Amino acid sequence: QEPPAGSDGEGGSGPGPPDSPGPPETPPEPRSGRSAALRARMEERLLGARFRYLNQQLYTGSSRDAAQLFRADPAAFHLYHRGFEQQVRRWPERPVQRIVRYLRRRPASLVVADFGCGDCTLAASVKNQVHCFDLVPLNPRVTVCDMAEVPLAAESVDVAVFCLALMGTNLQEILGEANRVLKLGGTLMVAEVASRFEDIPAFLKAMTQLGFRTVSKDLSSSYFYVLEFAKTGPTRPGPAPGLRLRPCLYKRR
Ligand code: SAH
């Protein structure tokens, strides 16, 4: 299994498309079985195509566009998640497990906000109070909202998490929202597909403009990077040119 690649890669994949399983290696089937298998394969392909389309929409539009997309078509969201799950399951390690390990090393009294929580694996795996935000409730714990505008008071959380969730193009706004809800000195954890980063030093420099100091960076995996920041103060307005992530776009496999 190749590590995921950015949009400039060949046949790249991040949290990627659903698998289209090849023909099963079984003895010849009766005619009806063959046509059922063919239909299943066609359906799988169609799902793969829809997933790639959705994925492209998510990575090339703002978080607000994503919110609108899923509000209009909740079924699209479930399709997206199915594809996401299938892809990440094949990685050597799930990034969210790294965040779980990190939180377990720290006091359980810390209040956490999980931006783009998906199925709430993080909240289910730690003792901390975790505010879970996503566009559609995959789990009853989810508060449905756009991550650029979460219903939390300013300076009310100790740890903000983005685990494979920095999808919108309005990165500055999204990370500014994390800055707003974080207490001074609070922690921002980012786990993101490695190949999405164009220039890590420039990205980290831009984060200082947003009011974050780099505490640690783990760039050892070819699948995903884990970055830990501390809030040093409010986000400063103005351009932050290094704050760029490549979209994960997929070719048909
Ligand atoms: N953090 C989870 C899920 C990652 S998938 C995990 O690591 O397993 C990315 C998640 O971000 C998806 O659930 C998607 O719905 C969510 N997301 C994308 N754009 C969003 C937005 N604008 N507001 C809230 N959630 C968003």
Check whether residue 82 and residue 100 sit in a common domain.
no
Q: Where in the sequence is the domain holding 115, given as residue range(s)? A: 95-231
Give a yes or no: residue 1 inside a domain: no
Single out the residue in 89, 112, 130 at which a domain terminates: 89
Check whether residue 209 and residue 102 sit in a common domain.
yes
pLDDT of 193 > 80? The answer is yes
Check whether residue 175 and residue 79 sit in a common domain.
no
- Alpha-carbon distance values, 105 to 98, 114, 252 (Å): 11, 17, 41
Task: Quote the pLDDT of residue 250.
Answer: 60
| Mean pLDDT rounded to a whole number for the chain | 88
Q: Per-residue confidence at 16, pLDDT binned at 50, 70, 90?
A: very low
Residues within a 6 A CB radius of ligand 1: 15, 63, 66-67, 84, 95-96, 116-118, 121, 133-135, 146-147, 163-165, 167-168
Task: Quote the pLDDT of residue 10.
Answer: 34
What is the model's pTM?
0.87
- 247 CA to centre of ligand 1 in angstroms: 14
Domain count, the chain: 2
Give a yes or no: residue 2 inside a domain: no
Give a yes or no: residue 140 inside a domain: yes
Give a yes or no: residue 42 inside a domain: yes
- 118 CA to centre of ligand 1 in angstroms: 5
72: domain CATH number is 1.10.10.2150
pLDDT (tens digit per residue) in 102-134 = 999 999 999 999 999 999 999 999 999 999 999
pLDDT (tens digit per residue) in 28-42 = 556 678 899 999 899
Give a yes or no: residue 15 inside a domain: no
Check whether residue 206 and residue 108 sit in a common domain.
yes
Check whether residue 54 and residue 129 sit in a common domain.
no
Task: Give percent of the chain with pLDDT exceeding 70.
Answer: 86
Task: Flag the least confident range among 7-11, 58-62, 112-116, 173-177.
Answer: 7-11
* Residue among 167, 169, 181, 192 to mutate when testing ligand 1 (max atoms within 8 A of CB): 167
- 43 CA to centre of ligand 1 in angstroms: 25
Q: Which atom of ligand 1 is nearest to the CA of 136?
A: 15
- 187 CA to centre of ligand 1 in angstroms: 19
More confident residue, 64 or 22: 64
Give a yes or no: residue 163 inside a domain: yes
Averaged pLDDT for residues 44-68: 88
pLDDT of 1 > 90? The answer is no
Task: Give percent of the chain with pLDDT exceeding 90.
Answer: 66
The listed range with the strongest mean pLDDT (49-58, 86-95, 179-188, 244-253) is 179-188
Check whether residue 116 and residue 69 sit in a common domain.
no
Check whether residue 128 and residue 176 sit in a common domain.
yes
* Residue among 147, 177, 245 to mutate when testing ligand 1 (max atoms within 8 A of CB): 147
- For the chain, the straight-line distance linking the first and the last C-alpha, in angstroms and rounded, comes to 13
146: domain CATH number is 3.40.50.150
Q: Per-residue confidence at 75, pLDDT binned at 50, 70, 90?
A: confident
59-98 burial by CB neighbour count: b if 16+ within 10 A, else e? bebbbebbbebbeeeeebbebbbebbebbbeebeebbbeb
pLDDT (tens digit per residue) in 141-190 = 999 999 999 999 999 999 999 999 999 999 999 999 999 999 999 999 99
Check whether residue 99 and residue 69 sit in a common domain.
no
Give bridge partners of residue 196 from the DSSP assignment: none
Q: Per-residue confidence at 12, pLDDT binned at 50, 70, 90?
A: very low
